[in-house]
Amino acid sequence: MENRRQLVFSFVIRLLGFFVLLMRSSRGDINYSVPEETKIGHVIGNIAKDLGLSAKTLSTRKARLDADDDGKVYCDILSSGDLVVAERIDREEMCGPKTECSLKYEIILENPLQLHRVMIEVQDINDHSPVFASDMIKFEIRESAMKGARFAVNGAHDADIGQNGVQSYVLQNNAHFSFDVHAKPGGGKYGELVLNKELDREQQRELTLTLTAKDGGNPQRSGTAVIHVTILDANDNVPVFSQSVYKVNVPESAALGTVVATVTATDADEGANGDVTYEFGYLSEELNRLFKLNEKTGDIILDGQVDFEKESRYELSIQGKDGAGLASFASVIVEVSDVNDNPPAIFLKSVQNPVPENAAPGTEVGIINVQDKDTGKNKQVHCSIQQNVPFQLIPSIKNYFSIVTTSELDREQVAEYNITITATDEGMPPLSSSKVIHLSVSDVNDNPPVFDEQSYSAYVAENNKAGTSICSVTARDPDWRQNGTVLYSLLPSEVNGVPVSSFLSINADTGVIHAVRSFDYEQFRSLKVQVVSRDNGSPPLSSNATVSVFITDENDNSPQILYPAPEGKSLMTEMVPKAALSGSLVSKVIAVDADSGQNAWLSYRIVKSTDPGLFSMGVHSGEIRVQRDISESDSMKQNLVISVRDNGQPPLSATCSVYLLISDNLAEVPELKDMTYEEKSSKLTSYLIIALVSVSTFFLTFIILILAVRFCRRRKPRLLFDGAVAIPSAYLPPNYAEVEGAGTLRSSYNYDAYLTTGSHTSDFKFIRSYNDSTLPAGGTLRKSPDDSNIITFSEAGEEGVFLPCAQ
Ligand SMILES: *[C@@H]1O[C@H](CO)[C@@H](O)[C@H](O)[C@H]1NC(C)=O
Ligand SMILES: *[C@@H]1O[C@H](CO)[C@@H](O)[C@H](O)[C@H]1NC(C)=O
Ligand SMILES: *[C@@H]1O[C@H](CO)[C@@H](O)[C@H](O)[C@H]1NC(C)=O
């Protein structure tokens, strides 16, 4: 189509040229045409013929060509009159882009001078190809360029003109661009690359297209250029995470600084558009504290301590952003795994404190609950109770345990328990914890008071003051407070028909026993009382003990002289035969002492005598004997003053007078009454005699009586009769009479003694010694000099002190 049009066009042009040629010819000009680049010698036309001259004429007339303006002459006239090409004719050189191009000459003929104009039109031939300004046309197009975008490309140039100029462009087939040609204002053409389909740098970074320009000559010529399109990046890609959700597992024990996970996002863009930085989405304060994100590497770093028990799962939102701000998101799920980091905890849910000591075995005293915050095996807990306490753990529902007693409790032995309960879990390694539960045992009144001794002995000297404390008893009760508070009392009883309370009293609190009155050893020597101790419990418990109070003797009785009768009352005169030999018994003084022991051990002395050498006194027997044979010169009437003294501290004594008449016949004593009582009447004398006789009779009767009684009962105490006077051997104090060897008291400290209740005529009693069996044989007994109540007793070389009331 295009070609055809071009053909028509060129035809019209030629036709026009022809008419012009005709007009010129008509004016006498000669017109020729010759294609450029014809070979030298090419005949353009025959001038001779065209001028109507013969060739010969031409040569004779020296026809020659002359160029205007001394221009170059490309043609030559041959002798034949032919106009031939003499030099290479290049239209482009001569006329450039001008469409009209002709060589204008004048033919000069001489003889006559004639001028003819010749115009040779130079015709274009297609001897040039289109040429682009450069072989390589470079473009940088952003991949974001829109469809329809245009990019101007300079057209190719073809030196030829007309049909031989650039007629069309052909762009190499490609997916993205087409090529449009436009006329430039003011002539010329330019092309445009038109983007038909968007570019994608990420698919293809550059494009090389060949653009071909074609002319319309025949043969057709073409020229090519390479269009190089560099596709510039546009931030058209978002970063893409390798996973949309990252799941990681972290043990709760993970150290700070541990990389928990690494997220990666890639961005297909380049440069800053492809540089991905990471950041967290919204995070709670706690999460912010726990995790840090390396914005370059995408490492999520543990920055705090995770705790499975607090939170086992965290979800972090992460943004990956490229330099231009395109972003995408991913989430990281951090699952915290359990580590056995929690020891079991023991909680005391209830406790019965105190536990009464009479609680039956199996009584529940407390409930504990054990908890472990860990999971799985780390949560499995075993519980145990320490050994050697009477408690055990009984598992109950879930993690509850009962603490029950396993045996009877006794507050008096163990009043409180510290029970250690240990709980251990099954983790690796196991953790354990323990708790101490304090349990106290409360009292029950289960113990009666117990006296230190079952029987007490106390010694008290007679003539004590009323109110004297005699001894104290102690009973102990291990129970608590009032259950163990002991009160003392005396069990009512009678002593000799008198209530015991009139003799003794006890301090209810202290157990100190007091004498209510003064005791008299000579009245009674001991008394026995039951002491009761009672606690304050409800009901109270009690026990009793026996207290024996022994009254010890004091020297409070003077010796009593029974014979001879005391002075003034009766007058006794002993008859001493004149022939009495030295050593013969004359008389015997008899005295008694109501006290006992040393206090009753009497000794006799002659204090005063008429003839000091005549009579001697048995110190302990009281016997008066003749010391030497009586001679005629001795006075008939002998008078002795006798002192009887006991061995007490201080000693007490009594005196009496004995009148002795040395005579064989009572009648020989005319002035008997003058011996002492010269002035007394005969009436008095007769009274005396009567009294003497009656006393003697009575005494004899008495002696016989005693003898009989003693003989019947014991047969032991022998009575010595010497002369008219009977003296019981038991009258002698025991130490004196029976102490042997090294002072060991053998058979007895016991002795019998006569006691009198006062008057001479009253009856005597036998009182048996009380300490018959209190001393074991082999011990030594002696009286302490400073304290008459303390008796020191030593046995087998050991010495001890017997305190009254301690036993
Ligand atoms: C029990 O523990 C307490 C306090 O630690 C202590 O004072 C007490 O003596 C302990 N008791 C026993 C019986 O160990
Ligand atoms: C004494 O024992 C009784 C039971 O016999 C008991 O109820 C009471 O609490 C006890 N008193 C004290 C102070 O422990
Ligand atoms: C004294 O105690 C004994 C046992 O210790 C008991 O047999 C006796 O009955 C008690 N006497 C009195 C009067 O309580």
- Confidence at residue 682, expressed as pLDDT on a 0 to 100 scale: 56
Place of tokens 């070609």: 3
Q: Number of helices (H) and strands (E), helices first, in the chain?
A: 7, 58
pLDDT in tens, 112-137: 888 888 888 888 888 889 999 899 99
d(CA 783, CA 590): 27
- Confidence at residue 507, expressed as pLDDT on a 0 to 100 scale: 95
Probe ligand 2: pick from 442, 479, 481, 485, max atoms within 8 Å of CB?
442
- Confidence at residue 564, expressed as pLDDT on a 0 to 100 scale: 81
- Confidence at residue 753, expressed as pLDDT on a 0 to 100 scale: 34
Question: What residues have CB less than 8 Å from 346, skipping those under 6 apart?
Answer: 368, 369, 370, 383, 421, 423, 433, 434, 435
How far, in Å, from the CA of 351 to the mean position of ligand 2? 20
For the cut 60, the answer to whether the pLDDT of residue 207 exceeds it is yes
Largest CA distance in the chain: 270
Q: Which ligand is nearest to the CA of 545?
A: 3
Mean pLDDT lowest for which of 51-55, 237-241, 351-355?
A: 51-55
Number of the ligand 1 atom closest to the C-alpha atom of 417:
13
- Confidence at residue 236, expressed as pLDDT on a 0 to 100 scale: 86
Number of the ligand 1 atom closest to the C-alpha atom of 416:
13
How far, in Å, from the CA of 805 to the mean position of ligand 2? 33
- Confidence at residue 611, expressed as pLDDT on a 0 to 100 scale: 87
d(CA 286, CA 639): 134
**pLDDT class for 673, splitting at 50, 70, 90?**
very low
Place of tokens 């300079």: 154
Percentage with pLDDT > 70 across the chain: 81
Probe ligand 1: pick from 388, 418, 439, max atoms within 8 Å of CB?
418
- Confidence at residue 186, expressed as pLDDT on a 0 to 100 scale: 77
The mean per-residue pLDDT over the stretch 705-730 comes to: 53
pTM (global) more than 0.75: no
The mean per-residue pLDDT over the stretch 151-166 comes to: 86
**Considering only CA atoms, which residue is closest to atom 11 of ligand 3?**
544
Q: What tokens does 122 get?
A: 């130079």
Q: Which three-class secondary structure state does DSSP give residue 235?
A: coil
For the cut 70, the answer to whether the pLDDT of residue 677 exceeds it is no
**pLDDT class for 10, splitting at 50, 70, 90?**
low
Q: Which ligand is nearest to the CA of 450?
A: 3
Respond yes or no on whether the N-terminal peptide bond of residue 112 is cis (omega within 30° of 0).
Answer: yes
How far, in Å, from the CA of 544 to the mean position of ligand 3? 6
**pLDDT class for 572, splitting at 50, 70, 90?**
low
Closest CA relative to residue 511, chosen from 540, 533, 537: 533
How far, in Å, from the CA of 545 to the mean position of ligand 3? 8
Mean pLDDT lowest for which of 94-103, 182-191, 732-741?
A: 732-741
For the cut 50, the answer to whether the pLDDT of residue 467 exceeds it is yes
Q: Which three-class secondary structure state does DSSP give residue 698?
A: helix
For the cut 50, the answer to whether the pLDDT of residue 446 exceeds it is yes
The CA-atom distances, in angstroms, between 486 and each of 80, 412, 471, 473 are: 184, 16, 17, 11
Probe ligand 1: pick from 416, 419, 440, max atoms within 8 Å of CB?
416
How far, in Å, from the CA of 449 to the mean position of ligand 3? 13
554 DSSP assignment? -
CB-count burial class (<10 Å; 0-12, 13-18, 19+) for 439: buried
pLDDT in tens, 759-774: 333 333 333 333 333 3
- Confidence at residue 149, expressed as pLDDT on a 0 to 100 scale: 92
- Confidence at residue 12, expressed as pLDDT on a 0 to 100 scale: 62
**pLDDT class for 634, splitting at 50, 70, 90?**
confident
Length of the chain: 807
**pLDDT class for 48, splitting at 50, 70, 90?**
confident
> What is the overall mean pLDDT for the chain?
81
Question: What residues have CB less than 8 Å from 539, skipping those under 6 apart?
Answer: 445
Percentage with pLDDT > 90 across the chain: 42
**pLDDT class for 2, splitting at 50, 70, 90?**
low
**Considering only CA atoms, which residue is closest to atom 4 of ligand 2?**
444
The mean per-residue pLDDT over the stretch 433-452 comes to: 93
For the cut 70, the answer to whether the pLDDT of residue 27 exceeds it is no
Cα dihedral 504, 507, 513, 514 sign: negative
**pLDDT class for 239, splitting at 50, 70, 90?**
very high
Within 6 Å (CB) of ligand 3, which residues are found? Answer: 491, 530, 543-544
pLDDT in tens, 286-345: 889 999 999 999 999 999 999 888 888 999 999 999 988 899 999 999 999 999 988 999
The mean per-residue pLDDT over the stretch 270-287 comes to: 90
For the cut 60, the answer to whether the pLDDT of residue 539 exceeds it is yes
How far, in Å, from the CA of 437 to the mean position of ligand 2? 23
600 DSSP assignment? G
Q: What tokens does 321 get?
A: 């952003």
For the cut 90, the answer to whether the pLDDT of residue 423 exceeds it is yes
pLDDT in tens, 472-515: 999 999 999 899 999 999 999 998 889 999 999 999 999 999 99
- Confidence at residue 7, expressed as pLDDT on a 0 to 100 scale: 64
pLDDT in tens, 645-657: 999 989 999 988 8
For the cut 50, the answer to whether the pLDDT of residue 749 exceeds it is no
Over its C-alpha atoms, the chain yields an Rg (Å, rounded) of 85
Within 6 Å (CB) of ligand 1, which residues are found? Answer: 416, 418, 438
d(CA 628, CA 428): 122
Mean pLDDT lowest for which of 3-17, 203-217, 659-673?
A: 3-17
How far, in Å, from the CA of 447 to the mean position of ligand 2? 11
- Confidence at residue 336, expressed as pLDDT on a 0 to 100 scale: 92
Mean pLDDT lowest for which of 81-90, 312-321, 430-439?
A: 81-90
The mean per-residue pLDDT over the stretch 711-731 comes to: 44
**Considering only CA atoms, which residue is closest to atom 5 of ligand 1?**
418
User: Contact 646/736 with Cβ under 8 angstroms?
Assistant: no
For 491, other C-beta atoms within 10 Å of its C-beta total: 11
For 345, other C-beta atoms within 10 Å of its C-beta total: 14
